[in-house]
Structure 1
Amino acid sequence: MQNSLYSVQYDGKPYDEFKTLFDQWQDIEYLEDFFENNKKDLENGIYKHFSIEEAIERTTLEAAKFEQTIRKSAENSIYNPDEDNTLEHLIFKSLHKDILNNNYIESKAYGVKHKSWLRVYAIRLTENVYFVSGGGIKLTKAMTPDHLKKELKKLRTTTQYLKENFIVDEDDLGYLELGSYGEE
């Protein structure tokens, strides 16, 4: 959604992070591998009592609604920015409690269900303009699992890149090449 929602596409990746994320959340094989590899967190984390099959079903159903909600809010951010169902008011919340200024706010979006484990991470450039760096399935209270640490690193790397290149609003975006900037 140009003019409100942008997304990083790293070198060597066929799609941007937003598309990749929602494709993964609809991919049964990907989800089965993910929940199998994170079975301990699924069973002992903050969302106890889910089998792998239940977790897959919950994720695919919620992801479809979540993507639709984000897209609709991005559209409203352009055409009805004063309403409550925009990216600013409905979707993204600051990742940190203390905000020093209104530029480059590291933000998170929760899935649509109560106690959702789906997360999308983005940088707020200006009101209702967000730059998605990635996302994940958060089964633990803290951001300590490796897959979530990687998402935090991508968020911080993207924030750093935007700052270093003086990108402060959607007019500065155009076509950006993050390439392998900050990637290992």
Structure 2
Amino acid sequence: MKIVPIFVQENKREGLFSIHLDGEMEDEVTKCMEQWLLDPQYLYDFFSLHQDDLNSGYYGKTISIQQAIKYTREEAEALFYQLESLAVSGSKTGSDTLSKAFHPLYNLEFTHKELQLVKAKTPIRKKWLRMYAIKIGPNTFLVTGGAIKLVETMKESAHLIKEKQKLEDIKYYLKEEGILDQDDFEMYEI
């Protein structure tokens, strides 16, 4: 398992980082970018497999697979743009940080916790894309994965349960490595 810088300023240990799991071709952020932006076949296959969830009414009226692909690509562009601009501006005093994009994984969690589990989503239309991460500092987040969430809760879908388990596993890994906060992260060898 490796930690990879994604949107960070040179010589800084804050911004957006991603986990690169052993045995995987790429880190989790890159994987999401490729699946959501560059691979329409992946999206077609995903929405075909999850067509019942897509048209369950959770997002309103019936949505065609072609519309879902279009919405996903638009949302992905907005999400990655937002994350990049917040990561870069967040290192400047008085600017918005990545904390503006990432919110607690559990909607009823209002206080900051050590290695808090968080999610990012865009403020646009459907909002079904999720980037899951662990908050290390106000402008330091480690992405553990991402998903298209077509159901109300994570426990309703196998691929979302898998993402939640990755969050828990990587949080455990960080604790085992002695990374509990920003200071620890700055000392960690990447």
**Alpha-carbon contact 1:104-1:124 (below 8 Å) kept:** yes
Higher strand residue share: 2
User: What's the CA shift for 1:174?
Assistant: 2.7
The one-letter amino acid paired with 1:49 is: T
**Unaligned 5+ residue runs, structure 2?**
1-6, 9-13
Change in Cα spacing, 1:36 to 1:149, as seen in structure 2 (3 Å) is same
User: What's the CA shift for 1:99?
Assistant: 5.9
1:163 corresponding residue in structure 2: 175
SS at match of 2:146: strand
The residue correspondences of 1:65-84 to structure 2 (distance < 5 A) are 65-80=78-93, 82-83=94-95
Change in Cα spacing, 1:24 to 1:36, as seen in structure 2 (3 Å) is same
Change in Cα spacing, 1:34 to 1:102, as seen in structure 2 (3 Å) is same
Of the structure 1 ranges 102-111 and 29-38, higher mean CA displacement relative to structure 2 is found in 102-111
Structure with larger RCO (C-alpha < 8 A, sep 6+) = 1
2:62 corresponding residue in structure 1: 49
The residue correspondences of 1:81-160 to structure 2 (distance < 5 A) are 82-83=94-95, 85-88=96-99, 90-96=100-106, 97-98=108-109, 102-143=113-154, 144-160=156-172
**Alpha-carbon contact 1:43-1:50 (below 8 Å) kept:** yes
Of the structure 1 ranges 15-24 and 29-38, higher mean CA displacement relative to structure 2 is found in 15-24
User: What's the CA shift for 1:114?
Assistant: 3.6
The CA distance in 1 between the partners of 2:188 and 2:29, in whole Å, is: 17
TM-score, length-scaled by structure 1: 0.87
Cα RMSD (Å) of the superposition? 1.6
**Alpha-carbon contact 1:66-1:111 (below 8 Å) kept:** yes
Change in Cα spacing, 1:173 to 1:19, as seen in structure 2 (3 Å) is farther
User: What's the CA shift for 1:145?
Assistant: 0.5
Question: How many residues are matched?
Answer: 172
TM-score, length-scaled by structure 2: 0.84
The one-letter amino acid paired with 2:186 is: D
**1:61 counterpart = 2:89:** no
User: What's the CA shift for 1:111?
Assistant: 2.4
Q: 1:32 aligns with which of 40, 44, 54?
A: 44
The CA distance in 1 between the partners of 2:111 and 2:74, in whole Å, is: 37
Change in Cα spacing, 1:99 to 1:111, as seen in structure 2 (3 Å) is closer
